[in-house]
């Protein structure tokens, strides 16, 4: 009798858990569909055209690696592009018709993927990598520039949920973002922190930081 009572009490919990799991699976499946083919609305195209289905990005055009970034970070960046706070002339049209559920779905899908190995198209310059490593780990205090790892984590692995990993990102993308921050086209950084840092970096120093982090392996 006791086992029957326990079973009866446990059934609602089991059904609730199975229902939650089914909803989560449906959300990921919808996110994968958007990544493969878009959501079907005008202007929206497949995320994989720039980010690939596995989320490894396209170094040849500066399409960033997004696999394994947190769901919160990916969602936030999509919303920032929609609102015009993050400069993204190509992406702006693509994400404009994404609903809240679409954003959650595609962000959840990519966040659950492991960052794949995608070789950059450039051969790292030892000189720039060395300078970039110095800036990344020690900063340039004469210019009031803190070490990059203070926000982006040891080895550039990020500080979840909102500070992204940048280790293993392609050089073109990293340099594009530093330039975008430096010239005030990208304005989604808290208290203008990245804008100030990027602007104080010299042209060579921006290249060096991008070169260094692109030479690293992404987190697994």
CATH of residue 155's domain is 1.10.760.10
Task: Domain of residue 149: give its range.
Answer: 126-214
Considering the domain architecture, whether residues 133 and 156 belong to the same structural domain is answered as yes
Q: Is residue 59 part of a domain?
A: yes
Q: Is residue 171 one of the residues assigned to a domain? A: yes
**pLDDT value for 74:** 97
Q: How far is CA 82 from CA 22, 31, 99, 188, 208, in A?
A: 29, 18, 11, 12, 31
Considering the domain architecture, whether residues 131 and 183 belong to the same structural domain is answered as yes
Based on the fold, state whether residues 144 and 52 are members of the same structural domain.
no
Instruction: Give me the residues paired with residue 69 across strands.
Output: none
- Both 164 and 188 in a single domain? yes
Count of alpha carbons within 13 Å of 93, Cβ hemisphere only?
Answer: 5
Q: Tens of pLDDT along 151-194? A: 999 899 999 888 999 999 999 999 999 999 999 888 888 888 99
Q: What angle do CA 155, 160, 166 make, to 5 degrees?
A: 40
User: Does any domain span residue 116?
Assistant: no
The share of the chain scoring above pLDDT 90, in percent, equals 72
Work out how many domains the chain is built from and give that number.
2
Q: Both 48 and 92 in a single domain? A: yes
Which CA distances in Å does 134 have to 27, 65, 91, 94? 42, 24, 33, 37
Within this chain, do residues 138 and 94 fall inside the same structural domain, yes or no?
A: no
Name the domain boundary from 111, 134, 158.
111
Q: What tokens were used for 195?
A: 């804008």
Mark whether 85 and 6 lie in a shared domain: yes
> Among 111, 144, 164, which residue terminates a domain?
111
Given CA atoms 120, 54, 70, 186 in this order, what sign does their dihedral have? positive
pTM equals: 0.86
- In DSSP terms, which residues pair with 163 in a beta bridge? 159
Predicted local distance difference test score (pLDDT) of residue 27: 96
45 and 69 share a domain?
yes
> Same domain, yes or no, for 85 and 136?
no
pLDDT tens for 8-41 read 556 565 444 455 667 788 999 999 999 999 999 9
Pair 212, 204: CB distance under 8 Å: no
Same domain, 6 and 107: yes
Pair (106, 148) in one structural domain? no
* Cβ atoms within 10 Å of 20's Cβ, excluding its own: 10
């Amino acid at each position: 009798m006791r086992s029957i009572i326990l079973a009866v009490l446990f059934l609602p919990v089991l059904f609730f858990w199975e229902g939650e799991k089914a909803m989560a699976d449906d959300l990921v499946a919808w996110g994968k569909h958007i990544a493969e083919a878009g959501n079907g609305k005008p202007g929206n195209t497949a995320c994989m055209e720039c980010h690939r289905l596995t989320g490894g990005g396209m170094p040849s055009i500066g399409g960033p690696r997004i696999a394994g970034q947190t769901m919160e970070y990916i969602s936030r960046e999509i919303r920032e592009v929609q609102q015009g706070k993050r400069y993204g002339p190509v992406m702006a049209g693509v994400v404009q018709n994404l609903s809240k559920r679409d954003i959650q779905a595609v962000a959840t899908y990519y966040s659950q993927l492991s960052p794949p190995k995608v070789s950059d198209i450039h051969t790292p310059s030892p000189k720039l990598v060395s300078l970039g490593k110095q800036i990344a780990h020690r900063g340039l205090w004469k210019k009031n520039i803190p070490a990059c790892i203070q926000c982006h984590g040891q080895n550039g692995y990020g500080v979840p949920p909102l500070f992204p990993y940048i280790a293993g990102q392609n050089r073109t993308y990293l340099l594009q973002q530093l330039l975008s921050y430096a010239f005030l086209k990208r304005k989604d950084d808290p208290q203008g922190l990245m804008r100030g840092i990027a602007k104080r970096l010299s042209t060579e120093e921006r290249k060096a930081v991008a070169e260094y982090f692109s030479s690293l392996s992404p987190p697994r």
